[in-house]
Amino acid sequence: MIHKEGKATILISLIVLFALNALTRWLAPELIWLQNVVLAISVVLLVIVLQFFRNPAITVTTGDNLVISPTDGKVVVIEEVEEPEYFKGKRLQVSVFMSPFNVHVNRNPIGGIVKYFKYHPGLYLVAWHPKSSTENERTTTVIQKPNGTEILFRQIAGALAKRIVWYVKEGQPVKQAEEMGFIKFGSRVDIYLPLDAKVKVGLNQKVKGGRSILAEFN
């Protein structure tokens, strides 16, 4: 299944690739090899775009004491940091990097009420750059559980990601593992946990959005 965020991009890609192939045939009708090369490249590019916007059906993992991965990707950061925007204190940061080949649907790591949301315009540093969390285009979302526990997570644009999409707003009740947004063409998501949370993943471990357990907490 193709995600709704990809429909316009796929249509534009089809139009451009069709025009490119038609132009090649018109300008070089005798160069069959060139026409075949352009056609092959077009097919590869279209397949890449289609797989990027895929949205497979999944069976989600849920649990009141669980923090679920908000996206597919690889764990690139696990460390205690200072979170300056909302908590203004120490938290455990777990970051998941998405390559262009991962599913880019973003999901709520916990269920509860959206207590805080803010969009930040910014730069497009590579997603693994140390300053990407504070200087890149990003969103910050805080979800509060009924018991008061709060989890903060950020959608962060990367060098290729030029558009962040979100479907949440402050005061909105959300369900764990349901879609909350989408980032186009590769990036990362940072999750900030209470210091007493028990992290259940390791560095460089591959995780699945809505299914993999990142941490447990009380």
Q: Based on the fold, state whether residues 83 and 166 are members of the same structural domain.
A: yes
Instruction: State pLDDT tens for residues 79-113.
Output: 999 999 999 999 999 999 988 788 889 999 999 99
By CB neighbour count within 10 A (0-12 exposed, 13-18 middle, 19+ buried), where does 140 fall? buried
Are the beta carbons of 62 and 177 closer than 8 angstroms? yes
CA gap 54, 47 in Å, rounded: 11
Q: Based on the fold, state whether residues 202 and 113 are members of the same structural domain.
A: yes
Q: Based on the fold, state whether residues 127 and 205 are members of the same structural domain.
A: yes
Measured in degrees and rounded to the nearest 5, phi and psi for residue 94 equal -125, 125
Residue 57 is assigned to a structural domain of this protein: no
Q: What is the CATH number of the domain that holds 200?
A: 2.70.70.10
Helices (H) and strands (E) in the chain, counts: 3, 14
- Provide the b/e sequence for 22-31 (b: ≥16 CB within 10 Å): eebeeeeeee
Q: Based on the fold, state whether residues 100 and 182 are members of the same structural domain.
A: yes
Instruction: State pLDDT tens for residues 154-175.
Output: 998 866 655 788 999 999 999 9
Query: Is 187 a residue of the active site?
Result: yes
Q: Based on the fold, state whether residues 175 and 102 are members of the same structural domain.
A: yes
Residue 59 is assigned to a structural domain of this protein: no
Residue 61 is assigned to a structural domain of this protein: no
* Non-local CB neighbours of 197 within 8 Å, separated by 6+ positions: 67, 92, 215, 216, 217
Q: Based on the fold, state whether residues 30 and 98 are members of the same structural domain.
A: no
CA gap 172, 159 in Å, rounded: 31
Name the pTM for this structure. 0.84
Q: Tell me, what DSSP letter sits at residue 2? A: B
What is the extent of the structural domain holding 173? 66-216
Residue 117 is assigned to a structural domain of this protein: yes
Q: Based on the fold, state whether residues 34 and 71 are members of the same structural domain.
A: no
Catalytic residue among 42, 95, 187, 212: 187
Sequential pLDDT tens for the chain (218 residues): 887 887 888 899 999 999 999 999 998 889 999 999 999 999 998 888 887 788 888 999 999 999 999 999 999 999 999 999 999 999 999 999 988 788 889 999 999 999 999 998 866 566 555 555 666 788 999 999 999 999 999 998 866 655 788 999 999 999 999 999 988 766 889 999 999 999 999 999 999 999 999 999 87
Q: Based on the fold, state whether residues 44 and 143 are members of the same structural domain.
A: no
